[in-house]
């Protein structure tokens, strides 16, 4: 029974961890470029609603995903404008973006709250694993849920792609440079402002994708504030992952599993407090608590350096200013 329990948890982690993975990867890219965007939650909501509405209207979930990404990208430009062009405070601007996203979607999303018959993203069987002798059919396959939504596979492909982009390509080299020392990049002719805009936009695309994968795959519904703090977990996960895509993958799955934990724990009869409703309330606090702890923990400069935080993270770039 314990093995089945464990398999259940892991399977849930892979599934519900995927939207988190998208959001985390997006924020990771943005932060590697030196811009902190705390608006992930808002961008995810915008993506979730846009994807849901378009998929419902067109009958095609893929068009929904595409529009969701664009919507996330477009709304992220608000943050780019404030933090890059106006050189405003990135924390304040990011928070504002979350409020904008939350408010906007609760107004525009009202007509969709009752909609149930939205086209979902397809589910595909997990390949290869069943054919592995012995542990294949009994453990590995159930572990991955036998079938997984297509977003799971997209997530698995995106991680190496993002890693390759950042670590092995010329655009990636420039991305890292503008996040570590924009003055050095500027001095050799890299356009710091334009590139930062681009990567904030990319972060928005990813957050939009994360939102759409919630509303078109995980829970194919539109509910107000359906992201339930996952955008905040993503912000914390970027730190947890030390700005590394592979560790982001791990972190996203772990937190995906954690989200399911309260439900699964309640099924275990011998745990004394499992059925206590207050437990659920406490577990719901985890995302916010985790984000706060991650931010507090990483606020000490020495720790941030050791974790691998981009040196120019959160600092607007002004040409010629000392210390830039």
Partner 1 sequence: MKNSPYALEMQGVPYALEMRGITKRFPGVLANDNVNFAVKRGEIHALLGENGAGKSTLMNMVNGLYRPDEGQILLDGKSIKFSSPRDAIDNGVGMVHQHFMLVPTQTVSENLILGQKTPRFYINYKKLEQDIADLSQKFGLAVEPNAKIWQLSVGEQQRVEILKMLYQGAKLLIMDEPTAVLTPQEVTDLFKTLREMTATGHTIIFISHKLDEVVEIADRVTVLRRGRVESTVDGKSTSKAELARLMVGREVLFRIQKKPANPTAAALVIDHVSCENDRGLPSLRDLSLTVRSGEVVGIAGVAGNGQTELAQVIAGLRQATSGAVIVQGQNVTNQPATATIDQGLAYIPADRNGVGSSPNLNLADNLILKSYRQPPIGQGWRIDLRLVRAQAEQLIEQFDVKTPNVDLPARLLSGGNLQKLILAREISRQPKVIIAVYPVRGLDVGAIESIHQMLIDERDRGAGILLISEDLDELLSLSDRIVVLFEGQIVGEVPPDDDLINEIGLMMAGTKVEQSHAT
Residue 112 vs 165, nearer CB to partner 1:
165
Q: Based on the shown chain and the rule CB under 8 A, indicate whether residue 111 belongs to the binding site for partner 1.
A: no
Give the number of other Cβ atoms within 10 Å of residue 1's Cβ: 6
What part of residues 174-193 is at the interface with partner 1 (CB under 8 A)? 174, 176-177, 180-181, 183-190
Q: How far is CA 213 from CA 75, 198, 233, in A?
A: 18, 23, 16
Provide the minimum distance between the beta carbon of 324 and partner 1 in the complex, in angstroms, as a whole number: 10
Only segment of 139-147, 166-174, 208-216, 220-228 that touches partner 1 (CB under 8 A) = 166-174
Residue of the chain from 58, 60, 138, 169 that contacts partner 1 (CB under 8 A): 169
Number of residues that bind partner 1 (CB under 8 A): 22
What part of residues 257-316 is at the interface with partner 1 (CB under 8 A)? 311
Give the number of other Cβ atoms within 10 Å of residue 17's Cβ: 27
Residue 131 vs 167, nearer CB to partner 1:
167
Quick one: tokens of 167?
A: 């670590």
Residue of the chain from 170, 272, 273, 296 that contacts partner 1 (CB under 8 A): 170
Only segment of 2-10, 14-22, 85-93, 167-175 that touches partner 1 (CB under 8 A) = 167-175
For tokens 């985890």, name the residue: 286
Collapsed DSSP state (helix, strand, coil) of residue 76: helix
Dihedral sign for Cα 229, 235, 239, 241, please.
positive
Cβ contact 35:199 at 8 Å: yes
Residue of the chain from 171, 280, 282, 306 that contacts partner 1 (CB under 8 A): 171
Provide the minimum distance between the beta carbon of 174 and partner 1 in the complex, in angstroms, as a whole number: 7
Q: How far is CA 68 from CA 19, 61, 161, 312, in A?
A: 13, 10, 21, 30
Q: How far is CA 24 from CA 129, 191, 236, 287, in A?
A: 27, 25, 9, 13
Provide the minimum distance between the beta carbon of 178 and partner 1 in the complex, in angstroms, as a whole number: 9
β-sheet bridge partners, residue 123? 149
Residue 59 vs 171, nearer CB to partner 1:
171
Residues in the site for partner 1, rule: CB under 8 A?
Answer: 168-171, 173-174, 176-177, 180-181, 183-190, 311, 319-320, 322
């Amino acid at each position: 029974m314990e093995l089945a329990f464990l398999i259940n948890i892991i399977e849930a982690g892979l599934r519900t961890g995927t939207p988190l993975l998208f959001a985390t990867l997006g924020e990771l890219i943005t932060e590697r470029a030196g811009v902190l965007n705390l608006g992930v939650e808002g961008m995810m909501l915008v993506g979730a609603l846009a994807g849901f509405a378009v998929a419902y209207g067109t009958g095609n979930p893929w068009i929904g995903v595409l529009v969701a990404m664009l919507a996330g990208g477009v709304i992220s430009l608000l943050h780019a404008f404030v933090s890059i062009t106006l050189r405003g405070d990135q924390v304040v601007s990011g928070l504002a973006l979350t409020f904008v996203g939350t408010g906007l979607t609760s107004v525009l999303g009202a007509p969709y709250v009752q909609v149930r018959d939205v086209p979902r993203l397809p589910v595909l069987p997990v390949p290869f694993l069943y054919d592995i002798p012995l542990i294949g059919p009994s453990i590995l396959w159930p572990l991955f849920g036998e079938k997984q939504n297509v977003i799971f596979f997209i997530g698995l492909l995106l991680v190496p792609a993002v890693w390759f982009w950042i670590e092995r390509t010329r655009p990636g080299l420039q991305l890292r440079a503008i996040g570590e020392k924009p003055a050095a990049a500027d001095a050799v002719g890299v356009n710091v402002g334009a590139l930062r805009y681009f990567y904030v936009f990319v972060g928005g695309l990813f957050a939009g994708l994360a939102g759409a994968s919630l509303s078109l795959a995980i829970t194919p519904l539109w509910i107000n504030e359906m992201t339930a703090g996952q955008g905040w977990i993503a912000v914390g996960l970027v730190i947890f992952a030390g700005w590394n895509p592979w560790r982001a993958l791990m972190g996203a799955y772990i937190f995906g599993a954690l989200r399911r934990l309260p439900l699964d724990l309640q099924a275990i009869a011998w745990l004394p407090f499992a059925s206590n409703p207050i437990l659920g309330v406490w577990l719901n606090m985890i995302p916010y608590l985790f984000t706060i702890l991650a931010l507090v923990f990483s606020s000490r400069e020495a720790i941030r350096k050791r974790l691998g935080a981009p040196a120019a993270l959160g600092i607007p770039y002004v040409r010629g200013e000392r210390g830039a």
